[in-house]
Structure 1
Amino acid sequence: MTGLEISGASAADMALFTAWADEEGWNPGDTDRFAFAVADPEGFLLGRVDGKPAACISAVRYGPGFGFIGFYIARPEFRGQGYGIQLWRAGMDRLDGRLVGLDGVVDQQDNYRKSGFLHAWNNVRYEGVPQGSADPGGAGPGVSVVDAATLPFARLAAYDRRFFPEARDAFLAAWTGLPGRTALAAVREGRIEGLGVIRPCSGASRIGPLYAATPGIAAALLHGLAERAGGPVAVDVPDANPAATALVEQLGMAPTFEAARMYTGPAPEVDLAGIYGVTSLELG
């Protein structure tokens, strides 16, 4: 077997990762790679065979104790030859000693279990044009839906920390502020009670994260974001939050894709009841 040369990804390589993910039907955001790069600039690996790109993976470090695996793709012509597992081991080595999470596609979940990952819940992608009233008053008395860019970023970062195992301020700043995106926040008496971001994709525009204190707030944010898209939207809903599943089904959205959230140990303690849509299947 020809050797696999593994190196850190360049900006051009990151564009390649996105193209490969799109070919796999994952519908990544058009500009996701720019936010990904600032999360952990050394966390993206490319494997080449005889100089030709063959496989990729992301192994992103968050804080001192958490990591996330994503973008695990081997090109079809290089599958079944051991290249993917070499890159997998390189990624996992980079996260050695940390609790590691991933979102595993159905046909790879058994392999992830063999590598020590435990199933936590399923993230189910729902797509469509949300039905029903877009009246923001449905969020409840005293709730206002505002442009998240008008709020102090420190407050947004602190709010995000309730739903994610480690602080990720640089990533969040890029994720919410990149051109072409809309970030909306729900505010009641000065408190943030919801946050949602929508981004353009080659397919349905993706919403994530979608955090909310109540289903009504989640619905108001989802409707507000969908109005900006002007077409179908997609949101990855954790089935561990039954209220989130019930909401998207009530809004007439349909499941189209599923991935298992898995960890190498007990799932981290986060406010799962407030997560109506995860941020990203690639970076958590």
Structure 2
Amino acid sequence: MTGFEITGASAADMEMIRGWADEEGWNPGDTDRFAFAVADPEGFLVGRLDGEPVACVSAVRYGEGFGFIGFYIALPAFRGQGYGIRLWHAAMERLDGRLIGLDGVVEQQDNYRRSGFRRAWNNVRHEGVPQGAGEDAGAGVDVVDAAALPFGQLAAYDRRFFPEARDAFLSAWTALPGRTALAAVRGGRIEGIGVIRPCSGASRIGPLYAATPGVAATLLRRLAEHAPGGLVSVDVPDANPHGIALFEGLGMVPTFETARMYTGPAPEVELAGIYGVTSLELG
């Protein structure tokens, strides 16, 4: 394996890797890479063979005790030659001592189990144009621009659904160009948050948090107004007993599935309020 080295990702690498993910059919957001840089500036690793990039992985640190692995890709011509596994070990070493999460595609889940990961739930991507009247948020709920709320209130709400505080990341994720972030508010209290971002395929919504299915449906419809043709996709955890039923009732169809896996016990978050995870690459 002469000539193989692992380096941090440059800005040009980040753009290239986004293209690799598109080729894998993952449909990441057009500007997600900028939120990566805010979350953990050194969280992307690239494997280079004789100077040329052949593999990548993200190993993003959150707070003091959590990390998330994503964007684990080796170019097809270089698979099965040991480059990817060396990069994997480097990512795991970077997150050593933390609870580590990832979203594993079906064909890789056995490999992740051998590395100590265990399934917590499945995330099922639902795609389509939300149809029908369905449930709504009910009386007294206002849907507002999330930027109009005190950021501390927004961050405290996000913390209920994520293992660590991630204020800097959240600030970038909700405000990057081309995105819309909405909050459902009742009596001054946040009852839901949703963010939509442009992608090369269907616009992605994530996170989507809500106190009730009606609040989730209301946010989903309002966010879909910002998508070309209303076409959106949401990665829905099946651990939320109301999530899958809500999206199926709105005429959206499952198109892709991963397993959320952790190296230890799943973190204690309010799963019943998660109708869409932030992203399969960032957790």
Shared fold, TM over 0.5: yes
Deviates most, 141-150 or 272-281? 141-150
Instruction: Tell me how far 1:4 sits from its aligned partner.
Output: 1.8
Deviations 1:155-185 (A, max 9, x none): 1111000000001111111100011000000
1:123-142 → structure 2 map (5 Å cutoff): 123-133=123-133, 138-142=136-140
What secondary structure sits across from 2:226 in the alignment? helix
**Equivalent residues in 2 for 1:268-283, closer than 5 Å:** 268-283=267-282
The whole-number CA distance in structure 2 between the counterparts of 1:210 and 1:155 is 16
In structure 1, what residue type is equivalent to 2:77? E
Q: 1:141 deviation in Å?
A: 1.5
Helix, strand or coil: the match of 2:22? helix
SS at match of 2:64: coil
1:25 aligns with 2:25: yes
The alpha-carbon deviation at position 230 of structure 1 amounts to 3.2
Unaligned runs of 5+ in 1: none
Q: Note if 1:233 corresponds to 2:232.
A: yes
The match for 1:199 is 197
Instruction: Give the equivalent residue in structure 2 for 1:183.
Output: 181
Match of 1:173 among 168, 171, 174: 171
- CA distance in structure 2 between the partners assigned to 1:121 and 1:17 by the alignment: 27
Normalization by structure 1: what TM-score? 0.98
Give the deviation of 1:133 after TM superposition.
2.8
> 2:255 aligns to what?
256
1:43 maps to amino acid: G
Partner residue in 2 for 1:62: 62
Any idea what SS the aligned residue of 1:228 has?
A: coil
Is 1:99 paired with 2:99? yes
Instruction: Give the unaligned 5+ runs of structure 2.
Output: none
Amino acid at match of 1:257: F
- SS of 2:120's equivalent in the other structure is strand
> Over residues 214-272 of structure 1, what are the superposed CA-to-partner deviations in whole Å (9 max), with x where a residue is unaligned?
00000000000001113210000000112011100000000000010000000000000
Query: Could you tell me how far apart the structure 1 residues matched to 2:46 and 2:207 are?
Result: 27
User: CA–CA distance in 2 between the matches of 1:272 and 1:60?
Assistant: 22
Q: Which amino acid aligns with 2:228?
A: G
SS class of match (2:81): coil
Partner of 2:37: 37
Distance in 1, matches of 2:168 and 2:176, equals 12
Spell out, residue by residue over 1:81-111, the C-alpha distance to the aligned partner (whole angstroms, 9 max, x if none): 0000000000000000110000001110000
Q: RMSD between aligned alpha carbons?
A: 1.0
SS of the residue corresponding to residue 38 of structure 2 reads helix
Give me the TM-score of the superposition, normalised by structure 2.
0.98
SS of equivalent to 2:92: helix
In structure 2, what residue type is equivalent to 1:266? P
Partner of residue 266, structure 2: 267
Q: Following TM superposition, where does structure 1 have runs of at least 4 consecutive aligned residues deviating by more than 6 angstroms? A: none
| Matches of 1:200 and 1:242, distance apart in 2 | 28
**SS of equivalent residue, structure 2 residue 142:** strand
Residue 2 of structure 1, CA deviation: 2.9
